[in-house]
Amino acid sequence: MKRLFLTLVIMLTGALCAVANNGGDSELNPGSVIIGHVSDAHSWHICEIEREGKDPLTIGISLPVILINEGHVDVFSSAKFHNEDKVYNGYKLVGGGLEKEEIICVDTEGNPLLNAEGAVVKPVDISITKTSAAIMLATIMLIVIIFVARAGYKKRENQAPKGVQSIVEMLVVFVRDNIARPMIGEKHYEKYLPYLLTLFFFIFFCNVLALIPIFPAGGNITGNIAVTAILALITFFITNISGNKHYWVDIFNTPGVPAWLKIFPLMPVIELVGVFTKPIVLMIRLFANMTAGHIVMLGFIVIVFILSNVFGVAVGGAVSVVSVLFSVFIGLLECLVAYIQAFVFTMLTALYIGMAVAEPHHAEA
């Protein structure tokens, strides 16, 4: 527990430094700082180092920019936008902070190009952003962990698990015995267990990495609604493709319901809407819970600098003690939420699949 507490304090100190560097000597914009830390970007900002008489030294990773415009592909580094106007080769990087960061087309003077309807012309952006890079890193690290556990089984055959092997085995057994088997049933659970394990480990690992503000961690993967939408969409397709005839009969001809409700047709519409709202609930729940936790923690950190600017450094320093304590509490809560959200997403996925493949009780009656 002491090690966890010290780790959280170190993490929060790093976060305080990051916010301080972001604010610099200029007036701090709390909303821009907070949203900027949880939103996606075309580069991975790590920190800034103040230099006397010089511009701050920015330390970060420039990511590949891939744009499709008028049938041709442009590929270059996001470092090309690291200039005063943020313009390169007819493109301009706009937004950031409270506004969504995106790339638009501009003329030779840097003015936005407009189409016939008066809208700003934008290329098709398939760049590797911070979230994309974080997903790749998380996937690689997760694969390494699994292979380390696999190697442990080969070296310690018929022996008690040890180290990483014991953690992986504990989680695998938990997903199998407490999620897949009871939710899907003995007959079908093994077929869907690989997907459920992949889902649980990916979400849980990404949630944990998001709590560590030090590269290569720190990417807010599950706090990006596009990521949670894809996970929910995969669940949606697996559920409905796996659905047996009884699953679809229960949707369009629900047993035990008065005939006039079927003819109206009230119940079939409600059941059909439920097919689409289930993945939407999965998507929003994971996104909202992970994003809210990061925003609350950053809010406690930013308030130190707000009070320092308004009332002086002494007041800010005094408030920082309370702010760090509350941030540590939220950090501990976030550690629990990281596991709970992975469990809930996987459990509901297993429940939906189980409902789709199970034989209904009214068939036996």
Domain boundaries, the chain: 64-127, 132-364
pLDDT score of 77 more than 80: yes
Express each pLDDT in 355-365 by its tens digit: 888 876 654 44
**Does the pLDDT value for residue 53 go beyond 80?**
no
Residue 28 has pLDDT above 90, yes or no: no
Q: What is the pLDDT of residues 173-224, one digit of tens each?
A: 999 999 999 999 888 889 999 999 999 999 999 998 888 877 777 788 998 8
Q: What is the pLDDT of residues 229-276, one digit of tens each?
A: 999 999 999 999 988 888 887 777 767 667 666 666 677 788 888 889
* pTM greater than the 0.75 cutoff: yes
Phi and psi torsions of 206, nearest 5° = -65, -40
DSSP code per residue over 227-238: HHHHHHHHHHHH
Segment (H or E) for 304: helix 266-311
Closest-CA residue to 352 (of 271, 235, 250): 235
Taking 50 as the threshold, does the pLDDT of residue 99 lie above it? yes
Worst-scoring range by mean pLDDT, 27-31, 180-184, 219-223, 304-308? 27-31
User: Which pLDDT belongs to residue 250?
Assistant: 75
To which residue do tokens 């996987």 refer? 346
Are 43 and 60 in contact by the 8 Å Cβ rule? The answer is: yes
pLDDT over 90 for what percent of the chain?
Answer: 27
| Average pLDDT score over residue span 127-151 | 91
Sign of the dihedral through C-alpha 100, 101, 102, 104: positive
Q: Express each pLDDT in 105-126 by its tens digit.
A: 988 888 888 888 888 889 998 9
